[in-house]
Amino acid sequence: MCQLNNYNDFEMQERNTTLGEFIIENQKAFQYSTGELSRIINSIRLAAKVVNYKVNKAGLVDIVGAAGEQNIQGEDQQKLDVFANETFIQTLINREIVCGIASEENDDYITVAGADNSHNNKYVVLMDPLDGSSNIDVNVSVGTIFSVFRRITPMGTPVQMEDFLQPGVNQVAAGYVIYGTSTMLVYTTGHGVNGFTLNPAIGTFYLSHPNMQYKEDGTIYSINEGNYVHFPQGVKDYLKYCQKEEGDRPYTSRYIGSLVSDFHRNMIKGGIYIYPTSSKAPKGKLRLLYECNPMAFLAEQAGGKASDGFKRIMEIQPTELHQRVSFFCGSKNMVTKAEEFMENAEK
């Protein structure tokens, strides 16, 4: 009976659309498409499977714990941070499909030249190769976040800083991979959000969550309330609102501490994720280019909203590669309400 169930499950998966098929079927919808963007998504898919394999072996091999170094933000790098970073970078470089890469783990951007030393590729990729990696040791879900821009400097020349310092509205693709009870790749190219679940038995991603959408209203708020005393007054006031017994409130507090995991849950169930500025982090904690912009693109494509508490995240003009911002993201009405509290507190 067990074998028959497994066979039926396999047959059901076979009838679903694979990620590769989905990319081919939908690449015509992308206005600049000449194949490179599809190949970038395929490269991310390949690297994600390699990282997924290592994450799933984390308790069995010497891949957990600190690597003994710090990244540009002064944070201790985990061994899996380093592995994931190298895996995604090398996969993108080896495919010769991007002209530049920026990673949260690297001090500066990487210029990528073709085999003939040319610089004719169109896209740059920015990424957080392993978001939430400090949770690896306690077996909590982690993820990869990526963002793709079309270069703005002339083709044939090496990429420059301005190719990376673009506002989020210029993104042509963004997504994340979540390594959890199942491994999923979720992405958008500006035509909705779709999620693909990895079948580990055959190493293939299948379309499992088509046209993902936020609920306009949610009942979950996600924030590290341990920092409450350090939050701006507007955030404190909004949290009191969330906890007040009225209508569908109090809301449920759910916070994992891994952006990908918190975002993924809230997009499916409806909710808001908040990582504000604080007296301890006056500029915020999350990175605009590697975390907030791609998640904001996904949120808006799924009918949600993303803000720094006052203005749209994707309209912020970046000024530095590792810039930090405040982040409010999730169900549209919840983010709008949080913005109201922020504005009222400023008056």
Q: Is 128 annotated as a binding residue?
A: yes
3-class SS of residue 185:
strand
DSSP assignment letter at 291: I
* Residue recorded with tokens 């693909």: 196
E strand or H helix at 227 = none
Q: Any known ligand binding at 130?
A: yes
| 308 assigned to a ligand binding site | no
The structure tokens 């679903």 sit at 16
The answer to whether 131 is a known ligand-binding residue is: yes
Tokens of 148: 């793709």
Phi-psi region for residue 303, left (φ > 0), alpha (ψ -120 to 50) or beta?
A: left
CB 284 within 8 A of CB 275: yes
Beta carbons within 10 angstroms of residue 139's beta carbon: 11
Q: Is 216 annotated as a binding residue?
A: no
What are the distances in angstroms from CA 12 to CA 19, 195, 197, 339?
15, 17, 13, 44
Contact (CB, 8 A) for 269 and 300: no
144 neighbors 177 (Cβ within 8 angstroms): yes
Q: Is 262 annotated as a binding residue?
A: no
Give me the residue label for tokens 């506002």. Answer: 167
For residue 132, say whether it is annotated as part of any ligand binding site: yes
Is 142 in a helix, a strand, or coil? strand
Asked whether the beta carbons of 111 and 161 are under 8 A apart, the reply is no
What are the E-state strand segments in 192-332?
194-199, 204-209, 220-222, 252-253, 271-275, 286-287, 305-307, 324-325, 327-330
Q: Is 134 annotated as a binding residue?
A: yes
Q: How far is CA 171 from the centre of its chain?
A: 13
Is 285 annotated as ligand-binding?
yes
Is 14 assigned a ligand-binding role in the annotation?
no
Calpha distance 330→337 (Å, rounded):
11
Cα distances from 4 to residues 11, 141, 266, 321, in angstroms, run 10, 31, 35, 53
291 marked among binding-site residues: yes
Name the binding residues: 104, 128, 130-134, 224, 255, 285, 291
Name the binding residues for Mg(2+): 104, 128, 130-131, 291
Name the binding residues for substrate: 131-134, 224, 255, 285
